[in-house]
Amino acid sequence: MWLRVYAKTNRRVRFEVSFGRDAITAANGRRRLASRAALAALTEVLIGLASQRLTELFREVSPPLLATTQATTADLLRAIEASHPDRNIAALVLDGLRHFRRVVPDGNPELLAAVRKLKRQGVLRIVRRQQSWYGLSAKYQSALTNLIVLQD
């Protein structure tokens, strides 16, 4: 089995797994393919082998996962407070997150500016692009949960 990797375009990389005759013979057991069903079954086996090999390769070449630390409730509150000079805008962000787990800045350019700043800082992420919904990033989820529990 060979693996070829090359740039297909300036935005796409192609991974190609090539099997030699021996690999196909080993998967098929030296039988002739008598039907389309047999060909489909052999294809499934070869796809499984290729997928397994690519998974092993990706595991080897991937960088190690960085330990992501969770943000504290204080980190979340500081980030929201610093997102806009107007405390009312910061309060809108916090209220949206507390009550709906999202912020929707429709028709409010000040709120949109605050939300975009928080997104750039990694506090928020886009949940639904078409509806401009922003939710907390994974790092800040537990901070919001802790805040809600403290207030209840």
Q: What is the pLDDT along the chain (152 residues), one digit of tens a residue?
A: 778 888 988 888 888 888 877 777 777 776 677 788 888 888 888 888 888 888 877 776 766 655 467 899 999 999 999 999 999 999 999 999 999 999 999 889 999 999 999 999 999 999 887 778 999 998 999 999 988 887 65
* pTM reported for the whole predicted model: 0.55
Residue 10: strand, helix, or coil? coil
63 vs 59: CA distance, rounded Å: 9
3-state SS string for 88-112: HHHHHHHHHHHHHCCECCCCCHHHH
Q: What angle do CA 81, 86, 87 make, to 5 degrees?
A: 50
Domains and CATH numbers, the chain: 2-61 (no CATH), 73-151 (1.10.10)
Q: How far is CA 75 from CA 31, 62, 68, 122, in A?
A: 65, 30, 15, 12
